[in-house]
């Protein structure tokens, strides 16, 4: 069978259809011809009124009947085969144009469908709105609950969009956790799109049940419209989708769970963002990120106790860039672990030549605490650079405690078991409970600079600082006050007991060259790096 099919010449289905129908038609004509002669004779012979038909004609007639049956059967089979093929082709087109998980359109099919919608609305009172939707916390849901739960969230999101939006809306899943909607609306009533968008945010935010526990979803949404086409006279659907995408990223940058309409200046911001991302990638490869150091002082004695490492970016294009600019971008890019480890390595090498009594503190991104191997990586760096763990301090922001307390606790215990100290940074800006502070073994609490800076004014800053200091004494945790900038605040802090302090009153963050000059003047530099490898191997 297989070899016969391989050698059989290919005949298009329509041609085979005509051949089979032709055979049946020819057989019917022959049947009429032979039957007109055979049947009367057969009847006369059966009635005994005359001779019967010739045997050859009877055989011809029977052959005609067989050909009619064969031709008709083949025709019916071919029609069925054609219908099956059409259904298969239709199914293939459907699969090519839709997302199999949600049943929405896909990235490939949306632009052409949107072009058709724009064409239908052209010359009418309707404009076309383009809506780009991104689920803010989808990765976390996937990581914590698995991909099956993530698929359920995506299907539920698609269903909720269909429930909120008009039937004529084009809904597409572009990939991952990103959706796009394209819909016509009355150009005289653009506020209708705002109301629909607000409704989408509310509806999608309703909890989704995932195997007995609920997951809450927030979305960032960007909008663009053909109503604002005079910006540059564009008519390409892909260009409008691009604008909505830029507005969506603007919403995400402004705090997520909100929406923005596209404005021309957003495109310039997006270009700047793209330039930053390209610069960060190049900077990582070229070693452009450098540590700066801020002094940490014993407030009571005024003596230097250590330094906090702060990240700076010496960019050939942008100059010296502060961390407030590049750290959020690096976190979104997923390169913050690499950037952080590069800086820590340089800082460890710098600090080896300081007085062994001086400590080194580093800030850790919340994203790094999601890495179960983070503690082991820190230990590996300390061993590599022969740096004693008791001189090394990691600062964790209070907001980290709300992501995954169990993971944070495990991480802190693992780090402390190696001799590394852990500080709770920016205390007072989050929502830490006393139960969390008691259960998480921090070595130090750092009071956020916003409270410290208010201590010299009429306000609640002094009361809050007093309360935090009392809390630290009760829990047996030393306190560091950040952001000390004037003598009045410093004098007030001295009254509160033994605290550490840091801030511009002691000087701005310094390069390693400035730090060496300072320590050299104080006689607190050593030519030989301290031997910490043996200490670390014992603690490990």
**CB neighbour list of residue 359: distance below 8 Å, 6 or more residues apart:** 296, 305, 306, 307, 391, 392, 393, 421
Q: In this structure, is residue 267 part of a structural domain?
A: no
Q: What is the pLDDT of residue 222?
A: 95
- Residue 6's DSSP bridge partners are none
Whether 69 and 188 share a structural domain: no
Whether 501 and 400 share a structural domain: yes
Q: In this structure, is residue 531 part of a structural domain?
A: no
Q: In this structure, is residue 535 part of a structural domain?
A: no
Domain end, chosen from 262, 281, 302, is at 262
Q: What is the pLDDT of residue 261?
A: 94
Q: In this structure, is residue 163 part of a structural domain?
A: yes
Percentages helix, strand, coil for the chain (3-state, rounded to 5) are: 55, 20, 25
| E strands in 70-169 | 126-135
Q: What is the pLDDT of residue 94?
A: 60
Whether 21 and 125 share a structural domain: no
Euclidean distance between CA atoms 233 and 241, whole angstroms:
15
**pLDDT exceeds 90 at position 386:** yes
Angle of CA points 374, 377, 378, to nearest 5°: 90
Q: Which residue has the tokens 């007639």?
A: 61
Whether 291 and 424 share a structural domain: yes
Whether 414 and 518 share a structural domain: yes
SS3 130: strand
Residue among 107, 124, 97, 112 nearest 236 (CA): 112
305's tokens: 């106790």
**CB neighbour list of residue 145: distance below 8 Å, 6 or more residues apart:** 210, 211, 215
Q: Considering only 1-10, 326-335, 504-513, which range has the smallest mean pLDDT?
A: 1-10
- Residue 481's DSSP bridge partners are 447, 501
Q: What is the DSSP letter of 10?
A: P
235 close to 118: Cβ distance less than 8 angstroms? yes
Query: pTM, whole model, 2 decimals?
Result: 0.66
Q: How many domains does the chain have?
A: 3
The burial of 392, by beta-carbon neighbours within 10 Å (0-12 exposed, 13-18 middle, 19 or more buried), is given as buried
**pLDDT exceeds 60 at position 394:** yes
Q: What is the pLDDT of residue 538?
A: 39
Q: In this structure, is residue 512 part of a structural domain?
A: yes
Domain end, chosen from 213, 230, 262, is at 262
Whether 363 and 478 share a structural domain: yes
Q: In this structure, is residue 38 part of a structural domain?
A: yes
Q: Which residue has the tokens 């945790």?
A: 477
Whether 136 and 47 share a structural domain: no
Euclidean distance between CA atoms 446 and 350, whole angstroms:
24
**pLDDT exceeds 70 at position 460:** no
**pLDDT exceeds 70 at position 405:** yes
Whether 124 and 195 share a structural domain: yes
Q: Which residue has the tokens 């940074």?
A: 425
Q: What is the pLDDT of residue 267?
A: 85
DSSP string, 115-171: HHHHHHHTTSSEEEEEEEEEETTHHHHHHHH-HHHHHHHHHHHHHHHHHHS-TT-EE
Q: What is the pLDDT of residue 55?
A: 62
Q: For 266-291, what is each residue's pLDDT tens digit?
A: 888 888 888 999 999 999 999 999 99
CB-CB neighbours of 79 under 10 Å: 13
Q: For 434-459, what is each residue's pLDDT tens digit?
A: 666 777 888 998 988 888 888 866 66
Whether 93 and 225 share a structural domain: no
| E strands in 374-509 | 392-397, 421-427, 444-447, 479-481, 500-501
Highest mean pLDDT among 86-90, 249-253, 295-299: 295-299
pLDDT averaged over the chain? Answer: 83
Q: What is the pLDDT of residue 11?
A: 47
Kindly report the CATH number assigned to the domain that includes residue 203. Answer: 3.30.70.270
- Residue 427's DSSP bridge partners are 447
Kindly report the CATH number assigned to the domain that includes residue 388. Answer: 3.20.20.450
Give mean pLDDT, residues 23-30. 64
Give mean pLDDT, residues 249-255. 87
| Residue bearing the bigger pLDDT, 304 or 231 | 304
Domain end, chosen from 229, 262, 295, is at 262
**pLDDT exceeds 70 at position 467:** yes
Q: What is the pLDDT of residue 246?
A: 92
With bands split at pLDDT 50, 70 and 90, how would you rate the model's confidence at 514?
very high
Q: What is the pLDDT of residue 92?
A: 60
Q: In this structure, is residue 301 part of a structural domain?
A: yes
Give mean pLDDT, residues 95-123. 87
Euclidean distance between CA atoms 470 and 437, whole angstroms:
14
Q: Considering only 2-11, 226-235, 296-305, which range has the smallest mean pLDDT?
A: 2-11
Q: Considering only 66-80, 215-229, 253-267, which range has the smallest mean pLDDT?
A: 66-80
Give mean pLDDT, residues 297-313. 95
Whether 168 and 281 share a structural domain: no
Q: For 49-79, what is each residue's pLDDT tens digit?
A: 656 666 666 676 677 777 777 777 777 777 7
- Parent domain of 450: 273-523
Angle of CA points 330, 255, 228, to nearest 5°: 100
Q: What is the DSSP letter of 482?
A: -
Whether 200 and 119 share a structural domain: yes
| Residue bearing the bigger pLDDT, 475 or 429 | 475
With bands split at pLDDT 50, 70 and 90, how would you rate the model's confidence at 196?
very high
387 close to 418: Cβ distance less than 8 angstroms? no
Q: What is the pLDDT of residue 233?
A: 47
Q: In this structure, is residue 105 part of a structural domain?
A: no
Q: What is the DSSP letter of 504?
A: G
With bands split at pLDDT 50, 70 and 90, how would you rate the model's confidence at 212?
confident
**pLDDT exceeds 70 at position 34:** no
Whether 80 and 131 share a structural domain: no
Q: What is the DSSP letter of 301?
A: T
């Amino acid at each position: 069978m297989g070899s016969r099919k391989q050698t059989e010449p290919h005949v298009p289905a329509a041609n085979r259809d005509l051949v089979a129908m032709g055979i049946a038609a020819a057989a019917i004509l022959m049947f009429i011809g032979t039957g007109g002669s055979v049947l009367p004779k057969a009847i006369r012979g059966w009635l005994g009124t005359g001779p019967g038909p010739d045997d050859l004609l009877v055989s011809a007639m029977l052959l005609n009947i067989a050909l009619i049956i064969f031709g008709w059967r083949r025709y019916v089979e071919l029609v069925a085969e054609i219908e099956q093929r059409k259904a298969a082709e239709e199914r293939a087109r459907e699969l090519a144009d839709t997302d199999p998980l949600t049943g929405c359109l896909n990235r490939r099919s949306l632009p052409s469908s949107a072009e058709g919608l724009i064409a239908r609305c052209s010359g009418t009172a309707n404009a076309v709105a383009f809506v780009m939707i991104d689920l803010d916390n989808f990765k976390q849901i996937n990581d914590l609950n698995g991909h099956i739960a993530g698929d359920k969230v995506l299907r539920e999101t698609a269903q909720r969009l269909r429930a909120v939006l008009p039937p004529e809306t084009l809904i597409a899943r572009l990939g991952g956790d990103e959706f796009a909607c394209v819909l016509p609306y009355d150009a005289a009533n653009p506020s209708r799109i705002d109301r629909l968008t607000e409704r989408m945010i509310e509806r999608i935010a309703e909890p989704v049940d995932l195997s007995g526990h609920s997951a809450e979803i927030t979305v960032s949404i960007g909008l663009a419209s053909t109503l604002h086409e005079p910006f540059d006279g564009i008519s390409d659907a892909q260009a409008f989708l691009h604008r909505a995408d830029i507005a969506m990223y603007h919403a995400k940058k402004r705090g997520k769970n909100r929406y923005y309409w596209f404005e021309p200046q957003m495109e310039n911001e997006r270009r700047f963002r793209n330039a930053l991302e390209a610069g960060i990638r190049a900077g990582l490869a070229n070693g452009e990120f450098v540590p700066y150091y801020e002094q940490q002082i014993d407030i009571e004695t005024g003596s230097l106790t250590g330094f906090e490492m702060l990240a700076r970016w010496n960019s050939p294009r942008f100059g010296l860039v502060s961390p407030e600019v590049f750290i959020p971008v690096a976190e979104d890019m997923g390169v913050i672990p690499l950037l952080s480890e590069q800086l820590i390595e340089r800082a460890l090498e710098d600090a080896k030549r300081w007085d062994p009594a001086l400590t080194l503190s580093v800030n850790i991104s919340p994203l790094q605490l999601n890495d179960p191997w983070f503690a082991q990586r820190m230990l590996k760096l300390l061993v590599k650079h022969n740096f004693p763990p008791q001189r090394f301090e990691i600062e964790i922001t209070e907001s980290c405690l709300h992501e995954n307390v169990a993971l944070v606790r495990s991480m802190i215990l693992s780090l402390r078991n190696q001799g590394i100290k852990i500080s709770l940074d920016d205390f007072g800006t989050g929502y830490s409970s006393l139960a969390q502070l008691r259960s998480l073994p921090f070595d130090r609490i750092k009071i956020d600079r916003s409270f410290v800076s208010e201590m010299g004014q009429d306000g609640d800053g002094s009361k809050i600082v007093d309360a935090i200091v009392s809390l630290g004494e009760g829990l047996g945790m030393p306190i560091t006050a950040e952001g000390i900038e004037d003598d009045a605040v410093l004098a007030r802090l001295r009254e509160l007991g033994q605290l550490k302090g840091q801030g511009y009153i002691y000087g701005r963050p310094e390069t390693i060259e400035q730090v060496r000059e300072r320590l050299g003047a104080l006689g607190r530099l050593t030519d030989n790096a301290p031997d910490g490898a043996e200490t670390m191997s014992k603690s490990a």
